[in-house]
């Protein structure tokens, strides 16, 4: 029985908790991508950089607050700076839309052209970030680092395996729940949310019924800004902030959005968790787990690892390809193809 509990704790500690927190970050990112795709109808390659930009502004203000000795006690100061980061990200989104994307929307350009344009935007934001904050890895989480340390847990329960709970993981999960609840409530219950869904479903019909497209687009960018900034900051808080990493993050985010069914907000969230869990589960070495759960005669000799951790990013793409082959519209029917 104890062995069974130990094995469960191993899974919780190394797969489930990291999976949920990484999955939440991906889900928030994928939700942003899916919003742009559903309303503005293009694949936004700049999304990773928008996330990075939000995280950067948050970091800058975190530093400012730290230098002024303003803090939140046991919570990281970044939470205090997050609203400012969100506002800055929204402004960035609105500006990039006004000066860049709007023109192509009025021209009714094909999605590929808009994707190219978003690559241009990606380069510009990327440069701005590098010029302002450089390319160094930045750790900006402060306050209490662990809610529960592995050792504390061992003492508390008397089990062999420890369960560590980082505060950044708990914060990630809580904020994600909050944000997702709000987003879905907004989409389902408010008039603006309904008009957005109508616009996404059938643009011409929505225009005929008097929905103002500019307003819908504006609201979309506001939501995208919020989601991107929060996702970027949480990712930086959990791992550490590194400007280059966000370009690599775009790929799993796209994978999440497409796997879930691009254009479907709920699908994006599910896709995020699917991608995160499969990345972690495929590359995790299960040896410890089997040592506990199997009788000692059957103990595995190797690491029992399906793929080495080097292939983490490759996993998300393999899943993307498989899903596209078997069910091109994603798990939850997206709007294209």
Nearer to other proteins, 76 or 334 (CB): 334
Nearer to other proteins, 125 or 219 (CB): 125
- Residues 113-132 touching other proteins, rule: CB under 8 A, are 113, 115-117, 119-128, 130-131
Could you tell me which of 106, 18, 53, 22 has the C-alpha nearest to residue 284? 18
- Site for other proteins contains 2 (CB under 8 A): no
Q: What is the dihedral of CA 88, 93, 94, 99, to 10 degrees?
A: 120
- Residues 297-316 touching other proteins, rule: CB under 8 A, are 308, 310-311, 313-314, 316
For the chain, the residue count is: 337
Do residues 330 and 259 lie in contact, with contact meaning Cβ atoms separated by under 8 Å? yes
Do residues 212 and 192 lie in contact, with contact meaning Cβ atoms separated by under 8 Å? no
Q: Identify the residue among 14, 35, 153, 254 touching other proteins (CB under 8 A).
A: 254
Question: Concatenated DSSP letters for 210-235?
Answer: T--HHHHHHHHHHHHHHHHHHHHHHH
CB of 327 to other proteins, least distance (A): 12
- Residues 47-106 touching other proteins, rule: CB under 8 A, are 100, 103
Q: Identify the residue among 2, 98, 134, 215 touching other proteins (CB under 8 A).
A: 134
Nearer to other proteins, 186 or 317 (CB): 317
CA distances to 48, 89, 195, 312 from 213, in Å: 25, 21, 9, 40
Nearer to other proteins, 183 or 316 (CB): 316
b/e 186-208 (16+ beta carbons within 10 angstroms → b): ebeeeeebebbbbbbeeeeebee
- Residues 255-284 touching other proteins, rule: CB under 8 A, are 255, 258
Please give the residue ranges that form the binding site for other proteins (CB under 8 A).
42-43, 100, 103, 110-113, 115-117, 119-128, 130-131, 134-135, 247, 251, 254-255, 258, 308, 310-311, 313-314, 316-318, 320-321, 324-325, 328, 336-337
């Amino acid at each position: 029985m104890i062995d069974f509990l130990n094995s469960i704790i191993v899974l919780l500690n190394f797969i489930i908790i990291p999976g949920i927190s990484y999955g939440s970050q991906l889900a928030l990112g994928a939700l942003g991508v899916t919003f742009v795709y559903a309303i503005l109808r293009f694949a936004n390659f700049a999304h990773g950089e928008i996330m990075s930009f939000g995280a950067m502004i948050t970091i800058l203000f975190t530093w400012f607050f730290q230098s002024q000795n303003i803090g939140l006690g046991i919570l990281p100061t970044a939470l205090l700076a997050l609203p400012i980061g969100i506002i800055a990200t929204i402004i960035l989104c609105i500006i990039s839309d006004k000066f860049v994307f709007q023109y192509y929307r009025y021209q009714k350009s094909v999605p590929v052209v808009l994707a190219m344009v978003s690559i241009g935007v990606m380069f510009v934001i990327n440069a701005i970030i590098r010029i302002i904050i450089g390319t160094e890895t930045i750790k900006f989480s402060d306050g209490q680092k662990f809610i529960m340390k592995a050792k504390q847990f061992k003492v508390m329960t008397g089990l062999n395996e420890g369960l560590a709970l980082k505060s950044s993981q708990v914060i990630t999960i809580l904020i994600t729940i909050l944000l997702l609840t709000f987003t879905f409530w907004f989409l389902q219950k408010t008039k603006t949310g309904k008009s957005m869904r109508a616009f996404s479903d059938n643009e011409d019909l929505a225009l005929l019924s008097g929905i103002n497209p500019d307003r819908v687009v504006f609201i979309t960018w506001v939501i995208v800004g919020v989601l991107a900034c929060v996702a970027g900051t949480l990712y930086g808080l959990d791992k550490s902030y590194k400007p280059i990493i966000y370009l690599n993050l775009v790929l799993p985010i796209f994978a999440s959005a497409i796997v879930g069914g691009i254009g479907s907000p709920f699908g994006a969230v599910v896709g995020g968790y699917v991608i995160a869990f499969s990345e972690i589960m495929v590359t995790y070495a299960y040896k410890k787990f089997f040592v506990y759960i199997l009788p000692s005669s059957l103990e595995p000799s190797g690491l029992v690892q399906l793929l080495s951790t080097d292939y983490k990013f490759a996993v998300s793409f393999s899943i993307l390809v498989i899903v596209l082959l078997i069910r091109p519209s994603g798990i939850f029917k997206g709007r294209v193809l």
